[in-house]
Structure 1
Amino acid sequence: MTDTAVVPPDVLTAVRTKHRALWALGDYPAVASEVIPGLGAVLVEAAGVRPGDRVLDVAAGSGNAAIPAALAGAHVIASDLTPELFDAGRAAAAAAGAELTWAEADAHALPYADAEFDTVLSCVGVMFAPFHHVAADELLRVTRPGGTIGLIAWTPPGFIGQMFTAMKPFAPAPPPGAEPPPLWGDEAHVRALLGDGVTAVHTEVRSLPVSRFASGAEFRDFFKSVYGPTIAVYRNVADDAARTAALDEALLGLAARFQDTDGAMGWDYLLLTATRG
C-alpha cells in the first residue's frame, strides 16, 4: 500500500486543479454517448452488480457505468473530479429512469469511509489519475472485504493507448511521479497496483467496435473539438504552426493504422474484476 504522503500535498492540489479543468474542456459526454455508449454496461455485467449493492463509480464522467449500475438496482454514487460533466449525466439518467447520486471527488483522495462499498467500478476513468499507486490504494480502501473491484482501461498497444503515444511529443510535461494512463490497461501493472489487496483476479483484453468515424480526418477533428486531453495538447502547440500540422498528421497516421476501408476500428481495452481480500 502506498502512503499518499509520498505525493506532496501541493502537487496533488495542482494536479487536481489542472485535471478538473482539462476534463471540463470540450464535450466529454459526447465521447461517452456517441463513441463508447455500451462500455459501462459491459463493466457492470462483468462485476456482477446486483439490486441493493452499494456501488461507487470512480471518475464516472457522465455516468457511463454508474447509470447501468443504477438500472441494475444498485445504490450508486457517481464520483468525478469534474462536476461540469454531471449535468449531461443527470439528463442521461433521467432519460433512462435511473436514480443515483452525483458527487465531486478526487480518485487520489476519495471522501468515503473504509470498506463503504460492495462494488467499486471505474470505466476508462481512474486510469487518468496520474499517481497510480495512490489511486489504486483508494479503490482498495473503500471496497469492503469480499467486495468487487471492476475496471476497464484502454491498453497501451490499442487505439487509445497509441493515441496518447502519438500525442506525447506535443504535450506539456507531466507532473513528477506521474505515470501514463494506458498503463492501467497493462495486466501486470494493474496486478502490481492492487497486489495482495485482492484475490480471484480475472482479466481479459477485449475490443470495442467503433464505427463513429468515416475517415481519419473525422476522428481527428472530433477529438480535437470534444476530448479534453486532445484539446489540451493542441493548445500546447497552438503558437507553432509546424508542430500543429505535425500533430494533425500524427493523428491521421494513427487512424490509418487502425481503420479498415469502411472506417471501422477496434479499440482494445483491459477488463479486470477482482475480489477485495
Structure 2
Amino acid sequence: MTADVNDPAARARRMWGLADYSALADRLAPASEQLATTLPDPPGRVLDLAAGTGTLAVLAAGRGATVDAADLSPRMVELGRDRTHRLAVAWHEMDAEDLAFDDGAFDAVLSSFGMIFAPRPERVLEQVRRVLPPGGRLAFTAWTPAGFMGEMALRMREWLPQPAGAADPGEWGREEVVHGRLAEAGFTDVRVRPTSLPWHFDSGPAMTQFFRAHSPSHHAAAAALGDRADAMFAAIEQLGAPDGGPVRVDAEYLLVTATAAERTGR
C-alpha cells in the first residue's frame, strides 16, 4: 500500500480492480456504441485503450476489426479475456503511457472513458500517436466538467483531493483543452461533439448503492473515508436528486475524433 503513494500507475492498477465493474460498463455501453461507429470501413487493426471489461472491444470485433485490448488492471484484463474468448480480441495488461506495440501498428485507437484517467495526458497522446500511422484514427469519450459526472467528481474531491502527480481527468472534457492537446501531439481534423448519457435511478440512495457496488473510484473513496463516506455520498445524492425524489440526469460528455497527421522533421 505504501508504494502507491508516489506511484500513480500503482494506485490506478489497484483501484480499477475494485468493485464489480461489469454493471457500470453496461451503463456506459451507449458511448462505446458511438465510438464503434467511428471506425473506418474496413476497420483493420484496432486498439481498445483502457478497455475495461471489453464492451468496446466486442463492438469493434463485431464490425470486423482485429482488436487488441489493453488495460492497466489485471482484474479488468481477466474479465475481458473471459468475455471475448470467442472473438478476435487479444488482451494485454498494459499502461496507456507505455504501450508495447510497434510504431504504426494500428489503423484506429478507441477509448471509452478510459485514457482520460491516465495521470500524464501528454505521455498517453505521445504513445497513441506513435502506434498510429499517418491517417490513422483516434476516437475517445470524456466527461465534461460542468456535466453531472464532472460535478460529482468535484464533490468527491472536497473529501479526497486529486492524488499528487495525476492530471485532472475533467480537463479532457474542455473543448479548448482537447484541441490544444491533440494539435500538440500531432493530430489534425479534430472534431468534438457534446452528447449525454442517462443516469436514472429510483432514488438518491439507490444511486449510492449502485456506485458503491460497481464503481471502482467510489468503492476506493468509501474505503479511504471510512465513517466520513456517508457524508460524501449524501452530497452526491443531493446533486442527483435535489428534491429527494428519483435521479433523472443526463451526464454530458464529449465524443472526440481526430486523425494522425503526417510527421514533419525528425
> Would you call these one fold, judging by a TM-score over 0.5?
yes
Q: Select which of 51, 57, 66 maps to 1:75.
A: 66
Counterpart-to-counterpart distance in 2, 1:152 and 1:260: 30
Amino acid corresponding to residue 255 of structure 1 in structure 2:
G
Pair 194,78 (structure 1): closer, same or farther in 2 beyond 3 Å: same
Q: Secondary structure at the match of 2:7?
A: helix
Tell me whether 1:37 sits opposite 2:21 in the alignment: no
Are 2:153 and 1:164 aligned? yes
**What is the TM-score when the length of structure 2 is the normalising length?**
0.89
Matches within 5 A, 1:1-277: 14-33=7-26, 35-45=27-37, 47-51=38-42, 53-93=44-84, 98-171=87-160, 173-176=162-165, 178-196=166-184, 197-211=186-200, 213-238=201-226, 241=227, 243-256=228-241, 263-277=247-261
Q: Where does structure 2 lack aligned partners over 5 or more consecutive residues?
A: 262-266
Q: Residues 149 and 12 (structure 1 numbering): CA distance in 2 closer, same or farther, change over 3 Å?
A: farther
Question: How far off its partner does 1:132 sit?
Answer: 1.3
Cα separation, partners in 2 of 1:208 and 1:260, compared to 1, 3 Å: farther
Number of residue pairs the alignment of both structures matches? 258
Contact 2:147/2:253, CA 8 A, preserved across alignment: yes
Q: Indicate conservation of the 8 Å contact 2:197/2:252, yes or no.
A: yes
Q: For residues 12 and 231 of structure 1, do their structure 2 counterparts lie closer, same or farther at Cα, with a shift above 3 Å needed?
A: closer
Residue 228 to residue 188, structure 1, CA distance change in 2 (3 Å): same
The answer (yes or no) to whether the contact 2:21–2:214 under 8 Å persists in 1 is yes
SS of match in other structure, 1:30? helix
Distance 2:97 2:238 in 1: 35
Task: Indicate the SS of the match to 2:16.
Answer: helix
Residues 162 and 168, structure 2, Cα contact 8 Å, conserved in 1: no
Q: What's the CA shift string for 1:25-65, capped at 9, x where partnerless?
A: 101222002x12222111110x2343351111110111121
What secondary structure is seen at the aligned counterpart in 1 of 2:136? strand
> Displacement of 1:140 after TM fit?
1.3
Inter-partner Cα distance in structure 1 for 2:49 and 2:5: 17
Deviations 1:71-117 (A, max 9, x none): 100111010001211333234435xx632111111011111122211
User: Are the aligned partners of 1:137 and 1:194 in contact in 2 as well (CA < 8 Å)?
Assistant: no
**Which amino acid in the other structure matches residue 181 of structure 2?**
L
Counterpart code for 1:219? M
SS of equivalent to 2:142: strand
- Find the residue that maps to 2:135 and give its secondary structure: strand
Q: Aligned equivalents of 1:203 and 1:131: distance in 2?
A: 21
Partners of 1:107 and 1:77 lie apart in 2 by 13
Report the identity percentage: 35
Letter in 2 for 1:179: A
The question of whether the paired residues in 2 share the 8 Å contact of 1:50 and 1:74 is answered with no
User: Are the counterparts in 1 of residues 204 and 245 from structure 2 also a CA contact under 8 Å?
Assistant: no
Cα offsets for 1:126-168 (capped at 9, x unmatched): 0110111111211111111111000111111111111110100
The residue type paired with residue 244 of structure 1 is A
Q: Aligned in 2, Cα 1:105/1:65: closer, same or farther, shift over 3 Å?
A: same
Cα RMSD, aligned residues only:
2.2
Per mean C-alpha deviation after superposition, the further-off stretch among 72-81 and 156-165 is 156-165
CA distance in 2, matches of 1:152, 1:24: 21
Q: Which residue number corresponds to residue 6 of structure 1?
A: none
Letter in 1 for 2:122: H
Q: Structure 1 stretches of 5 or more lacking a match? A: 1-9
CA contact (8 A) 1:170 1:236 kept: no
